[in-house]
Structures are given as C-alpha cells and as structure tokens.
A and B are shown apart, each in its own frame.
Chain A
C-alpha cells in the first residue's frame, strides 16, 4: 500500500473523457512523473489529486484517508504551478509564510520556517522583495518553497519548468530533485518533456488519451517500451514493420531481410505482421561481433546535429535512423550510397500488437 493510492480514477467532461481507468500507487518519498503529450490527461489527473477537479469515478487516498471529495484546502497537498502563481501583493517571505499564517502557526515558528525555506531554495536575502522583482527561475523557487513550507504529504508540480529558458530549466530541475531527495517528500511531477521525466523520476507514468500506457522506471520506459506510442514518445526511434518468421527465435522479416529480437516474439504467430523498434544509438554503420543483426540498405539522408550525425538508411518500405559521433576526420556516407547497418538483437524492441505509433 502506497502513501498515495489512486483506484479506477475517471474524469468525464461534457463531451469527452479526460481520464479513465487510472490506477497508481505511489510510495512514501517516491518521485513519480506523469509524462505525455498535450491533452493526454496528465494535468487533469494531477488536478484531481489536488482537489481542483472532482473525479467522475474512482478514489484517491493519501495515507489511507479517502480524500476524493475533500476540498483542496483540507488535503495538505502542496502545488507548484507552471505560471508560478505567487501572490503579487505579498513579499517573498509573506508568500512563503502564507500557508503557515492561514494555519495560524505562532509567529516565531512561522519566521523560522520561512527562513529555513528561503535557505533551502538559496534565496535567503530575498525575503523582502516582491515577486515582480525576481527572475522567472527565482519566482519558481519561491513557489516551491511556499508549497513546501506547509510540510505537505504530497507535492504536486504542474509543468513547473515550462515557462523558463533552457539553461535555467536544467539547473532548476537538478535543484528540485536535490530538494526532493533531501526532504524525502512524495512528489508527482507533470511534464511533456521526456528528458525532464527521465532525469528526475523514480518512476514514470506515460499517458495517452486519458489512459496509462506504461508505468516503469526511466530505464524500463526508455529501454523496454511496451507500445509503439511509448517507444516513439520517449526518445527517438525507428519503427520497422515485418512478417514474423519464427516466434521462438524472435525472427522477423523486414523488407525481405531477416533480423532477430533477443527477447523473442513468443506471443506472435508465424506470418503475422508485427512491429519492432530501434533506437538510433544502437544501430551502427559498421559490423561487429556484438551486433548480430545486419541489413543492407541505401543512405537516404545525412543530418549534422553538432556532436552527432544522424543518418537515415532505407531498406524498402522501412527505414532506420542511426547516430554516429561527429568526427571531423571521418568520411560521411553520401545519400544514395549502399551501406550495411548492424545492431544487436537485445536492442530490437518488440512492440505490442500490430504497433501503431
């Protein structure tokens, strides 16, 4: 039993279903990300946990207590918003202390807690400033401190870094993770940025069209995606469709060339059309003993991306992208050139069903 338990959660709006069959247990101190494209239901789910949306069905429990219909101000759940949502009429210290003041904490305790929080977010001297006098990154740190000051049971972050520029996003991301680890607070983080989810989370919940596609550690989600959607949403990859030759051996024919998936195709039938996926970093232009699979193809495109060069090789109906490190002294293949690519059987991701992305 987790600290946060969600069972059969559903949210219907007038003409659509935003979330359905949502089941999740989050352990105490765990950092879980909801990852998915716009409209997948991740924010709606977070808002139901916060109490801003009432579920159409299902239950939400925190520490064993059913909070499904409890008002947001009685849930002891901290929330950080994309737009910071600092109170413009209050100083940084007043913002951080707002929740404690509402809870009628003694002023000495309030002052100490506010100082602790400002030190935690490394803005100890900014207490007297107003939100408009801070940068976006500083404002979001204050919003984090404000949410943490009330010592919530669960911390909810709704795309907190989306409004910030790339560099600050990375540094604040690391800061959020460090603070979360230090305090050991159970955290739910909503993002559409796979890199954020992969780098921050203990577990990722990948969502699509209001449903959970897959739950797993970042390693599992990236390396063993169960569906074409997860595989294509998390990282770059090529999906190849072919006819199953031998399910036991994991053999499948892609444009007439046989390859093998080490994890097998146990649930497939001979002759069935199935899809497999390949990450660009496991495909090589060179052949080696480790790479059991080899395919002949033609270079379709060569893209220079700075530190890496992405080459697209076509076999017929299917094509694969592969990455090589940029080496100024190496010669890159030309479009139209015939090449052989190789990749290990362990790197062939077998997708569920007929695998549509």
Chain B
C-alpha cells in the first residue's frame, strides 16, 4: 500500500470515527437502562409510552399533509418555471432558499405576529387552525428541499417536448400535469417527500412555540427529564430518517436504471 493510499484510508477512518463513535456511544448508553446488563428496556418504555404514539402520529399526519400541500404547490410552480418562465428561475431559487437562511424561530415569531388571535386572520385562535398554520410553516421549512428535488427531476426529462406531445394529442393542462409530468418526476417528488418527512418528524421550534403536541417537543421533554429514554428515542428517530434516505437511494437507482436504458 502506497503512502498516499494509507493517508486516504486514515482520512476515511477519521470520518467514520467522527460520525459513528457518538452514535455507538448513544446506542450503547440506551442499552444500559438495567444496571449491569444490556437490554432494550429503554426502547420498550419509549415505544410503550402513549405520548410517543400520540406525538408520533400527530407529526406523521402533519408530515403527510405537508407533503401533499408541498407537492401541490411546488410541482406546478417548478413545472411552469421550467416550461414558460425560465428567466424567473434565479428569483424563485432565491425565494426557496430563504427558509434555510432565516431561522425557524424568526419565522414562527413572524407567524405569531401576523396570525395571532387578535389579527385579521386569527390562525392561532383554535387548535385546528394552529395545526393548519403549523402545516403551512412546515411547507415553508421543507420548501428548499422539495423544490430542489422536483426541479432536478424536471430537468432530467424533456418537459417542453413531453408537454407539447401531450397537447397535440388533445390533453388539457390537468391531464398533462397529473398523467404525464408527475409520473415522470415521481422519484424526485418521493425524494422531496422523504426529506420533508424527516424534517417534520424531528422539528421542534415551530411546534413548541405554536404549542402543538408534535414529536419534536416530546423528544425535548423526554430528554430533559429522563436518562436512557432520550438516547433510545434518538436512535429510533435516526432509524426513521435513515430509512427515508435508504428509500430515496433505492428509488433513485431504479430511476437511473430506466434513464440509462432509454439512451
């Protein structure tokens, strides 16, 4: 092995240690609930906690609603930008990046100021309307990821020609969008959807400040009051996020195979 190769391996090893040692430490700690033996007791307690089920279900439903609204908002926008308004692309890209630049806490205070119970649109007046507000705030938060994923998918297909081909066959805009464009950017949309899911499941700031029973605040609550359960929760959350990432990879590879076959 050459000296250069040794250095390469050392860099890789340092990276692996940097990422995996804390994870292994957390995992190992989560197994120490019982004195002297390793067990999954902390996981049993967490998974048996009704608040875990309630908050996880709440965040999952909110994530699904966020994904649905995000798709309905972003797919037609990105499609129209690509098809008819390519000159607006830089402006739209800038706008979609804003949620990454503006901290969530700033956004949520903005919402509270605009939509408080004494405003013209009192979204925080009831639990249901606050849920809707939280869902829209998640759409904003996930927008950079969803927009990029969808935009990349649209760039990979010949949007203009497919649209024109469908138009010449008598298709309306709705048919074109839902039967021609959307199925062909399905993998990109799914990637955006999984990223959105991962963001929403772990989000704390907005849910906490809007006082909604989401999974993020529950994680914080457990973390502040228990010893081993937070580690178990961290591992569970990571497993969920990684599963989402793995699904993106699997679907991405399938799509790449199809594209290669097409040429």
The answer to whether B158 and A85 touch across the interface, beta carbons within 8 angstroms, is yes
Closest chain-B Cβ to A95's Cβ sits at a distance in Å of: 9
Within 8 A of B (CB), among A40-83: 50-52, 71-79, 81, 83
Closest chain-B Cβ to A74's Cβ sits at a distance in Å of: 8
Q: Does A166 sit at the interface, judged by CB under 8 A? A: no
C-alpha spacing A86/B162, complex, angstroms:
7
What are the residues of chain A within 8 A of B172 when measuring CB–CB?
Answer: 73, 102
What are the residues of chain A within 8 A of B2 when measuring CB–CB?
Answer: none
Task: Give which listed residue, A74, A79, A130, A133, contacts B165 with CB less than 8 A.
Answer: A79
The answer to whether A88 and B164 touch across the interface, beta carbons within 8 angstroms, is no
The answer to whether A85 and B165 touch across the interface, beta carbons within 8 angstroms, is yes
What are the residues of chain B within 8 A of A76 when measuring CB–CB?
Answer: 170
Within 8 A of B (CB), among A12-47: none
C-alpha spacing A288/B175, complex, angstroms:
69
Query: Which of B161, B168, B183, B262 counts the most A-chain CB atoms under 10 A from its CB?
Result: B168
- State the total of A-B contacts with C-beta under 8 angstroms: 76
What are the residues of chain B within 8 A of A131 when measuring CB–CB?
Answer: 262
The answer to whether B168 and A72 touch across the interface, beta carbons within 8 angstroms, is yes
Chain A 151-192, CB-CB to B under 8 Å as 1, else 0, gives: 000001000000000000000000000000000000000000
Q: When A132-B258, A132-B262, A133-B261 are in contact, do A87 and B170 touch as well, CB less than 8 Å?
A: no
The answer to whether A102 and B170 touch across the interface, beta carbons within 8 angstroms, is yes
Q: Does A150 sit at the interface, judged by CB under 8 A? A: yes
Task: Give which listed residue, B157, B169, B258, contacts A99 with CB less than 8 A.
Answer: B169
The answer to whether B162 and A87 touch across the interface, beta carbons within 8 angstroms, is yes
Closest chain-A Cβ to B126's Cβ sits at a distance in Å of: 42
Q: When A52-B164, A79-B165 are in contact, do A88 and B258 touch as well, CB less than 8 Å?
A: yes
C-alpha spacing A77/B161, complex, angstroms:
15
Closest chain-A Cβ to B254's Cβ sits at a distance in Å of: 12
The answer to whether B164 and A85 touch across the interface, beta carbons within 8 angstroms, is yes
Task: Give which listed residue, B165, B167, B183, B258, contacts A71 with CB less than 8 A.
Answer: B167
What are the residues of chain A within 8 A of B205 when measuring CB–CB?
Answer: none
Task: Give which listed residue, B161, B170, B175, B186, contacts A85 with CB less than 8 A.
Answer: B161
The answer to whether A72 and B262 touch across the interface, beta carbons within 8 angstroms, is no
Within 8 A of B (CB), among A98-154: 98-99, 102-103, 130-133, 143, 146-147, 150
Closest residue on chain B to residue A71 by CB atoms: B167
The answer to whether B262 and A98 touch across the interface, beta carbons within 8 angstroms, is no
Chain B 143-180, CB-CB to A under 8 Å as 1, else 0, gives: 00000000000000110011011111111100100001
The answer to whether A98 and B166 touch across the interface, beta carbons within 8 angstroms, is yes
Closest residue on chain B to residue A79 by CB atoms: B168
C-alpha spacing A81/B164, complex, angstroms:
9
The answer to whether B262 and A88 touch across the interface, beta carbons within 8 angstroms, is yes
What are the residues of chain A within 8 A of B162 when measuring CB–CB?
Answer: 85, 87
Closest chain-A Cβ to B13's Cβ sits at a distance in Å of: 41
Q: When A88-B184, A88-B262 are in contact, do A73 and B165 touch as well, CB less than 8 Å?
A: no
Q: When A89-B183, A131-B262, A132-B262 are in contact, do A50 and B168 touch as well, CB less than 8 Å?
A: yes
C-alpha spacing A86/B165, complex, angstroms:
8
What are the residues of chain B within 8 A of A150 when measuring CB–CB?
Answer: 169-170
What are the residues of chain B within 8 A of A50 when measuring CB–CB?
Answer: 164, 168
The answer to whether A87 and B261 touch across the interface, beta carbons within 8 angstroms, is no
The answer to whether B262 and A79 touch across the interface, beta carbons within 8 angstroms, is no
Task: Give which listed residue, A51, A87, A130, A146, contacts B167 with CB less than 8 A.
Answer: A51
Q: When A88-B184, A131-B262 are in contact, do A103 and B167 touch as well, CB less than 8 Å?
A: no
The answer to whether A102 and B261 touch across the interface, beta carbons within 8 angstroms, is no
The answer to whether B184 and A87 touch across the interface, beta carbons within 8 angstroms, is yes
Closest residue on chain A to residue B186 by CB atoms: A89
Within 8 A of A (CB), among B246-263: 258-259, 261-262
The answer to whether A73 and B167 touch across the interface, beta carbons within 8 angstroms, is yes
C-alpha spacing A133/B261, complex, angstroms:
7
Closest residue on chain B to residue A139 by CB atoms: B262
Chain A 255-289, CB-CB to B under 8 Å as 1, else 0, gives: 00000000000000000000000000000000000
C-alpha spacing A71/B157, complex, angstroms:
23
Closest residue on chain A to residue B262 by CB atoms: A132
The answer to whether B258 and A73 touch across the interface, beta carbons within 8 angstroms, is no
Task: Give which listed residue, B157, B165, B258, contacts A81 with CB less than 8 A.
Answer: B165
What are the residues of chain B within 8 A of A102 when measuring CB–CB?
Answer: 169-172, 175
What are the residues of chain B within 8 A of A77 when measuring CB–CB?
Answer: 168
Closest chain-A Cβ to B223's Cβ sits at a distance in Å of: 45
The answer to whether B161 and A147 touch across the interface, beta carbons within 8 angstroms, is no
What are the residues of chain B within 8 A of A156 when measuring CB–CB?
Answer: 168
* 22 pairs, A vs B, C-beta closer than 8 Å: A51-B168, A52-B164, A52-B167, A73-B167, A73-B171, A74-B170, A77-B168, A78-B169, A83-B158, A85-B158, A85-B161, A85-B164, A85-B165, A87-B184, A88-B258, A89-B186, A98-B171, A99-B170, A102-B169, A102-B175, A132-B259, A132-B262
In the A-B complex, the 6 residue pairs with the smallest Cβ-Cβ separation, listed nearest first, are A99-B169, A132-B262, A85-B165, A132-B261, A89-B183, A79-B168
Sample of 20 more A-B contacts, CB < 8 Å, known A74-B170, A75-B168, A132-B262:
A50-B168, A51-B168, A52-B164, A72-B167, A78-B169, A81-B165, A83-B158, A85-B165, A87-B165, A88-B157, A88-B184, A88-B258, A98-B166, A99-B170, A99-B171, A103-B170, A131-B262, A132-B258, A150-B169, A156-B168
